[in-house]
Structure 1
Amino acid sequence: MKKSHLLLTMVIVLTFLGGIYTGIQYKSNESESQKTVKSAKVPKSSINPQTKELPNVEKAPSKVVIGYMQDFRDPNQVDYSKLTHVIFSFAHPAKDGGISLNGDAALKNLRTTVAKAKKANTKVILAVGGWYHMNGGESYPYFKAAISNPTSRTKLVNELTSLADRENLDGIDIDFEHPHSKADAVNLAAFAKQLSGKLHAKNKELSIAVYSKIHAVTLTEIGFVQYEPSMFKDVDHVNIMAYDGQYDDGYHAANLSPYPFTERIVNYWSQLFEEQNISKEKLVLGVPFYAQPTDPKIKQVSYDTIISQNPANANHDTVKMNGTTYYYNGAATMKKKTQLALNNGFGGMMIWELGLDAKGTNSLTSTISAAIDNAANSPVKYYTVVKAQ
């Protein structure tokens, strides 16, 4: 029995010692394994992964609010914060290609406009042309002569570019009212192309004011004003004068700028730009800040005058004052037109003219600016994929 006990004891001791040795070996092997993994280099894959470019994503372009301002207006009365561009109107072309402003007062107002606008990060553009010329009558014969031959056309381009440089302007606006023939259209296109080249080389803009091309009564295309569509590729903004329809087919004040008229104008220009493969972002819808009287012998009145009589008039499109009915675009119509432009891919809105606007909460400039801001902040995609690989 003693011998058996001794044998059993030895087995137990050997088993215990064997367990200790096995544990030491396992711990040693684990430590060596960890050292090996930490020090080893990761093997290179035999397959090279394909590198793909990230999509080129750019921010959607901001919409413009462009306001024309006549040269006799007080530049201190404009709220530049609501505008992306102010178009100072007008420089007057001479038949030989020279230009003139309406005296020292106009030049002073231009310089004040530039100083005020720059503080609000608003661009200032100088318009050349307009309906009336400083020397009397329409500007058409002066402008036509200036762009009809290469010598005077080049002089006009150089004069405008020099003035833009000298007065720290952000560009030029062409307001040729209106090209009446194929020759006019060709000469205007040549002028725009030449001026565009000079301005764009200096990082300045070129815009052009255009006739609506739509008859306010029949809502059909008007042919007596002609443009070369290719010209619009050379400009940054095409400001559509979608108003003054009251003179179509006799005199009808109600046709100043009603919504159906504007809607047809938008459709016409949208289709034209789509057919020509030109970005509709260049299109800017113009609206009137004045009211047309039923009696053509009576002068137009400003929107400010209408609101000054009664602020409630902001909610309407007609008003009766001094025995005469006036037609205009109130705040609701301005919001509707702004949405129409945005829905059709237009680049923004244009105003004729800032000096006619009401002040304070009834300002139509503020109404348009707010409508654009609200559209930008709506839950619509804000980024556009330009190119995806």
Structure 2
Amino acid sequence: MNKRTLLLGMIIVLIFLGGMFTGIFYTNHTKDAHKIINSDPLQKSAVKPNNKDMPKVNPSQSKVLIGYVQDFRDPNVVDYDKLTHVIFSFAHPTTDGGILLNGDSALKNLRTIAATAKKHHTKVILGVGGWYHIKGGESYPYFKAAISKPDTRTRLVNELVRFVDREHLDGVDIDFEHPHSTGDSEYLAAFVKELGDKLHPKQKELSVAVYAKIHAVTLTETNFVNYDSSMFQHVDHVNIMAYDGQWDDGYHAENLSPYPYTEKIVYYWSRYFDENGISKEKLVLGVPFYAQPVNPNIKQVSFDTIVKANPANADKDSVNLNGTTYYYNGDAMMVKKTKLAMDHGFGGMMLWEAGHDTKGPKSLTGAIYKTLSDAQKAPVKYYSVK
């Protein structure tokens, strides 16, 4: 055997031994690796899944409870813990695009409300307009003049934004009562868009108060008031004034805000928003906190007055007081209306106004708040995919 043949044989032997030892090492290492993997108890679920409880999901707290409060009210009447928004009412537009408040006392009340609300994480909104103007008469002609021309419209927008910034408020609510023509609705839509474009980048809100659009006697749509649907794309909330139906076809106190009337209002606005592709979460159903007398020469009274006369009146919707009959919405009616709004996908409830409510367990604010809270605590339904 020559040296070359011997060397070749040794190489073959070494290759064979190396392959054998490598195989042994790999087999042992793989067994160890499988031991590590199989020791993980989580792998058992891959063979036979364990039954697990469904995760708990906290319900959304997105529903709003918006309360208007008039500028002369004691700020302490507001139930800040239950309201998500307080709308301070009103700033009055001038024909040239300025704004007026009702003197130093109104400004002082606004600042007190803003400071107090902040402690309760409640937003404060400046209400603009309303039915009556500080200079006398209806607000309509003043408001229309301000928003019908581009220069005065822009001035009013800028005045409102500056005021909101200066007073550290959370936004603006527009209550133009009411756009009577196509021209009015176009002016209002342009004004709302321009104002929204200024407020929203500052993380401020914009809402509008709207007429119910339903006749309280015939329960049909009325064309007395016109809105441009594009306006609603630029607002956060649409506060429906579903009350004051007593003025339709003469005077009928019982038509202040009965349930069938409210039901038709909810149907109308739900359909209108669906047809125009607008989220119904923007819709907020308004309810009255005052009582309407059968005799129109007698003044309205607050729900607080009704309850103070007899706490049992809180459960009713009409009462004889001081020689006349008053119609109103008691706590059971408020619960019923709140459920109606929730069933139709509304974003919350609105009240006019906070100063009319009573304190304690008969509070209408409390009844609505509890109903909204209960609605949001409804269990989340899970559906299996088959």
TM-score interval w.r.t. the shorter chain?
A: 0.7 to 0.9
Q: Residue type of the partner of 2:230?
A: S
* Aligned residue number for residue 80 of structure 1: 80
Normalized against structure 2, the TM-score is what?
A: 0.85
Provide the rounded CA distance (Å) in 1 between the counterparts of 2:366 and 2:375: 14
Q: Residue type of the partner of 2:129?
A: G
SS in 2 for 1:198: helix
Provide the rounded CA distance (Å) in 1 between the counterparts of 2:253 and 2:26: 97
Q: How do 1:291-310 residues align onto structure 2 when only pairs under 5 Å count?
A: 291-310=291-310
1:33 and 2:24 are equivalent in the alignment: no
Provide the rounded CA distance (Å) in 2 between the counterparts of 1:322 and 1:124: 37
Q: Residue type of the partner of 2:130?
A: G
Provide the rounded CA distance (Å) in 2 between the counterparts of 1:59 and 1:338: 18
Provide the rounded CA distance (Å) in 2 between the counterparts of 1:98 and 1:218: 40
* Aligned residue number for residue 89 of structure 2: 89
Provide the rounded CA distance (Å) in 2 between the counterparts of 1:151 and 1:328: 43
> Structure 1 residue runs of 4+, over 3 Å off?
29-32, 36-40, 57-61
Q: How do 1:180-195 residues align onto structure 2 when only pairs under 5 Å count?
A: 180-195=180-195
1:231 and 2:225 are equivalent in the alignment: no
Contact 2:77 2:354 in 1 (8 A): no
Q: Residue type of the partner of 1:210?
A: V
* Aligned residue number for residue 5 of structure 1: none
* Aligned residue number for residue 98 of structure 2: 98
Q: Residue type of the partner of 1:272?
A: Y
Structure 2: runs of 5+ lacking an equivalent: 1-22, 38-56
Q: CA deviation at 1:230?
A: 1.3
Provide the rounded CA distance (Å) in 2 between the counterparts of 1:306 and 1:36: 85
Q: Residue type of the partner of 1:123?
A: K
Contact 1:291 1:326 in 2 (8 A): yes
* Aligned residue number for residue 334 of structure 1: 334
Q: Residue type of the partner of 2:27?
A: S
* Aligned residue number for residue 247 of structure 1: 247
Contact 2:59 2:377 in 1 (8 A): no
Q: CA deviation at 1:252?
A: 0.4
Q: Residue type of the partner of 1:294?
A: V
Q: CA deviation at 1:72?
A: 0.5
SS in 2 for 1:278: coil
Q: CA deviation at 1:270?
A: 0.3
Normalized against structure 1, the TM-score is what?
A: 0.85
Q: How do 1:45-194 residues align onto structure 2 when only pairs under 5 Å count?
A: 60=60, 62-194=62-194
Contact 2:92 2:101 in 1 (8 A): yes
The count of corresponding residues between Structure 1 and Structure 2 is: 341
Structure 1: runs of 5+ lacking an equivalent: 1-28, 43-56, 385-389
Q: How do 1:189-338 residues align onto structure 2 when only pairs under 5 Å count?
A: 189-338=189-338
Q: CA deviation at 1:62?
A: 1.3
Provide the rounded CA distance (Å) in 2 between the counterparts of 1:322 and 1:231: 45
Q: CA deviation at 1:237?
A: 0.2
SS in 2 for 1:368: helix
The structure with the largest alpha-carbon Rg is 1
Provide the rounded CA distance (Å) in 1 between the counterparts of 2:311 and 2:182: 47
- CA RMSD in angstroms comes to 2.1
* Aligned residue number for residue 54 of structure 2: none
Cα 1:117–1:300, aligned 2, differ >3 Å: closer, same or farther? same
* Aligned residue number for residue 375 of structure 2: 375
